[in-house]
Amino acid sequence: MGREGTLFFRVTGRDAATRARTGILETSHGEVATPAFMPVGTRGTVKALEPRDLRELGFELILSNAYHLFLRPGHAVIRKLGGLHRFMGWDRAILTDSGGFQVFSLADLCRIDESGVEFASHLDGTRFRLTPELCMEIQEALGSDLVMPLDDCPPYPAERSRVEESVGRTTRWAQRSLGASLSEGQHRFGIVQGGVHLDLRARSAEEIAALDFEGFAVGGVGVGEPFALGREAVACVSAILPGAAPRYVMGIGTPAQIVDLIGEGIDLFDCVLPTRNARNGTLFTSLGRINIKRNEFREDPGPLDPNCGCVACRRFSRAYLRHLYQCREILASRLNTIHNLAYFASVVVRAREAISRGEYARFRTLPEFSGEPDPKGCGNRVDS
């Protein structure tokens, strides 16, 4: 097929029976094949791993949080030290979340108005004001490749009037963010809000799509709503957003959710689920989830997942992984995290292959992805 897309993003293939597609993001730090999953490195690190591990697992894009890096060590410090890529030793692409989600997750510590958000730092109580312009300033200093504007993310459930207010404010803040300068090679995304109200989602999508953004994100899902409602919202928005731009669902999700939403035309995902669950002993495998704490694995000599080639599965038994976890050894977090991220990486790689073969409709119905989505841990883009 001919080139389809923009200089920043091009669609390379489509599945005829679904809306799934493959693509390439062109960034200053290399290409990113989509659909892609982003490990969450909130404070400039993916917990328990170093950048070399992420490269070996095949990741080309990770997520960090501008709000948390603003608080500590500060964006001016990171700029002085050469930007976030050099600071954390990661030479591939980075997406930074603006801090809009913290308005939702740290609601007791902040007050929102038209100019921005007044925060009390969760670290020491220091008060400061986060504005759409400051969010751009922070991310320009960090030097991230994909930049997110400040948005107003209401909780679930919320009164319709509150959601409608957030839609209007998110659009106005998006317009203000476009007036702030970024460095060459940085790409701005717009964020769509609207809660579970499909008419408000459509309105928000149309308003944000009319602005000069290079990519688009669906925010405000995975915040407590039933997955079926969140899925409807994503499908509604995906059908409206420009097909030439990348589409990103923020803070989602489980492998089943990712596979399902790839079928709705979504290109990018992030979630703390694989890394946080790894540290808590819950492991994702091609055979289903495993709670490695269970006594049934005490003498199990087999690999965690016989279909996985990660170091945890190649070199160690389930019994040993259980032993490490029971003893609270640091190695448990490291091996469990490597495995869970290896599994999530394999899901999107296999999804891309299925799209390329024109077999995505069959792929998304595999028993591996047929379980009921578990929203626990989804929607939270801060791996703390």
Catalytic residues: 97, 270
Query: Do 345 and 58 meet the contact criterion of CB atoms below 8 Å apart?
Result: yes
Q: Name the pairing type of β-strands 36-38 and 187-192.
A: unpaired
Contacts of 135 (CB under 8 A, 6+ apart): 66, 98, 99, 148, 149, 150, 177
Query: Do 269 and 38 meet the contact criterion of CB atoms below 8 Å apart?
Result: yes
Determine the Cα angle at 39 with ends 34 and 42, to 5°.
Answer: 130
One-character DSSP codes across 66-79? HHHHHHTT-HHHHH
Distance between CA atoms of residues 273 and 374, nearest Å: 10
Query: Do 121 and 128 meet the contact criterion of CB atoms below 8 Å apart?
Result: yes
Nearest one of 19, 20, 17, 22 to 34, comparing CA atoms = 22
- DSSP letter assigned to residue 116: E
Residue 262 CB neighbours (<10 A): 29
| Omega of the bond leading into 224 within 30 degrees of 0 (cis) | no
Residue 129: strand, helix, or coil: strand
| Omega of the bond leading into 373 within 30 degrees of 0 (cis) | no
Residue 211 CB neighbours (<10 A): 15
Radius of gyration of the chain (CA): 20
Handedness of CA 320, 316, 43, 99 (dihedral sign): negative
Query: Do 265 and 369 meet the contact criterion of CB atoms below 8 Å apart?
Result: no
